[in-house]
Amino acid sequence: MHRTERGFTLLELLVVLFILAVISSVVVLSFSDVGRDRTLQATVERLSLVIELARTEVTTRNETWVFYVGRDFYLFRKQDASNQWQTISTRPFQPVYLDDEVEFITHQDQEIEADDKSNLGETPLLVLYPNGEISPFQLDIQLTRSERKLSIVSDGFQRVGLVENARQS
């Protein structure tokens, strides 16, 4: 009598397990990239809205504000009665520090005219004027260890815009 065995060999089981491991690792990595992309998108959208809100606020208050950016933070300052720059600490204009996944890259080709460098030792990225104008700028926001970046740009007159992988000329 010839006996027929049913089932899988050890080699077949190992091949199936290897394929499942590869597929699951691809899925896990793609989900982590989606989370990082959402963090980048949320940071860019939040910052562009805060800049537009600050633009409205300086017009309403008839004040001049400056906007500073470091590698991992941003803040607004305004001049007080003695012409000293004071950091704004009220929401939503208080200083914001980014998480470790996101960083800023600035592009400043022109000198910005501000009466003072606001004790930060750097020129502000942009100046917000009481007439609603802002100085032209481009700010790239990039994920660390990634080539993906989004940019916030303005020509100074129109609303702040979002551009993916922009390069201003």
User: Domain for residue 95, yes or no?
Assistant: yes
The CATH number for 135's domain is 3.55.40.10
Token reading at 77: 């300052």
User: Domain for residue 2, yes or no?
Assistant: no
Q: Is the pTM of this model over 0.75?
A: no
The residue written with tokens 């699951």 in the block is: 24
User: Domain for residue 88, yes or no?
Assistant: yes
Integer-rounded Cα radius of gyration of the chain: 25
Q: What is the pLDDT of residue 3?
A: 66
User: Domain for residue 5, yes or no?
Assistant: no
Max Cα separation, the chain? Answer: 106
| Cα(102)–Cα(8) distance, integer angstroms | 49
User: Domain for residue 66, yes or no?
Assistant: yes
Q: What is the pLDDT of residue 51?
A: 92
Q: What is the pLDDT of residue 106?
A: 74
User: Domain for residue 101, yes or no?
Assistant: yes
User: Domain for residue 33, yes or no?
Assistant: yes
pLDDT digits (tens, 9 = 90+) for 126-142: 899 999 898 888 888 88
| Cα(44)–Cα(53) distance, integer angstroms | 14
Give the structural domain span for 112: 11-164
From first to last of its 169 residues, what are the pLDDT tens digits of the chain?
A: 666 677 888 888 888 888 888 888 777 766 666 677 788 888 888 889 999 999 999 999 999 999 988 878 899 999 888 888 899 999 999 999 887 778 888 765 544 444 444 444 467 788 999 998 988 888 888 887 777 788 888 888 888 887 876 444 4
User: Domain for residue 3, yes or no?
Assistant: no
Give the number of domains in the chain: 1
Q: What is the pLDDT of residue 124?
A: 79
How distant is the alpha carbon of residue 144 from its chain centre?
A: 11
Q: What is the pLDDT of residue 72?
A: 82
